[in-house]
Amino acid sequence: MPGRHVPRAGLSRSAVNVIALDLVDEGGTNGFGALTLAAVATRAGVAVPSLYKHVVSLGDLRRLVAVASVTEFRAAIEAASIGRAGPDALRAVADAMRTFAHRYPGRYAASQIAADPTDPADAELAAAGAEAVTAFDSVLRGFGLAPGGTVDAVRVLRSGLHGFIVLELGGGFRMPDDLDRSFEVLVDTLIAGIERLAT
């Protein structure tokens, strides 16, 4: 629940992460980018130096939040695709992705951050990201794509869905037409494109 207060005695790396996750969602689509150690310290009821017992820097905190966000995002995708295959699985995953973004806008933004493959500090984030991509791969497996086409399909799928979601959350769609219907059309178009790749 957003706005939770963690007493000083209960402060830990995990508790700091929970506070940060709440803060990024409260900040909406810009919450992750606006995350500061000062905001976390204020919410925790401690001075900023006290946080350094649990996180070494703002960069460390941001990685912590990103890893947790990617992990939750992957879990949502996997849960949506259980027992489904092909277009049915893709539609369920698309809906889950959009729902996650609306429920946790800050975490959604954090889940889209790619790890730096040359930075050892990003190893955990890279591993979490790889698992998320694998979840998308599993959904696309039902389309019978050639091995070389899977990467293209994942990129097309993520780009299309992410673009719609970011525009929607940012107020980019102001016309009165039904957004749910437009989202369905987008997903149908993506499915048609992926099926074409498979041929």
Mind listing the pLDDT tens digit for each residue in 129-174?
A: 888 888 888 888 888 888 777 888 888 998 999 999 999 998 888 7
Kindly report the number of other CB atoms within 10 A of residue 89's CB atom: 21
pLDDT class for 2, splitting at 50, 70, 90? Answer: very low
How far apart CA 156 and CA 49 sit, in angstroms, is: 44
pTM of the model: 0.86
The set of residues, in sequence order, having a beta carbon less than 8 Å from that of 139 and lying 6+ positions away, is 77, 81, 89, 90, 93
Q: Taking the chain, what is the end-to-end CA distance rounded to the nearest angstrom?
A: 46
The pLDDT of residue 8 is 53
Higher pLDDT, 89 or 8: 89
The pLDDT of residue 57 is 94
Do residues 160 and 106 lie in contact, with contact meaning Cβ atoms separated by under 8 Å? no
How far apart CA 61 and CA 40 sit, in angstroms, is: 10
The two structure tokens encoding residue 8? 């000083």
CATH number of 8-198: 1.10.357.10
pLDDT class for 197, splitting at 50, 70, 90? Answer: confident
Which of 109, 112, 77, 94 lies closest to 190, judged by CA? 94
The two structure tokens encoding residue 52? 């350094």
Do residues 153 and 194 lie in contact, with contact meaning Cβ atoms separated by under 8 Å? yes
**Domain layout of the chain by residue ranges:** 8-198
The pLDDT of residue 9 is 55
The pLDDT of residue 134 is 86
Average pLDDT for 79-100: 94
Q: Provide φ and ψ at 97, rounded to 5°.
A: -65, -45
Arithmetic mean of pLDDT over the chain: 89
How far apart CA 195 and CA 137 sit, in angstroms, is: 14
The two structure tokens encoding residue 175? 């016309």
Do residues 64 and 55 lie in contact, with contact meaning Cβ atoms separated by under 8 Å? yes
The pLDDT of residue 96 is 96
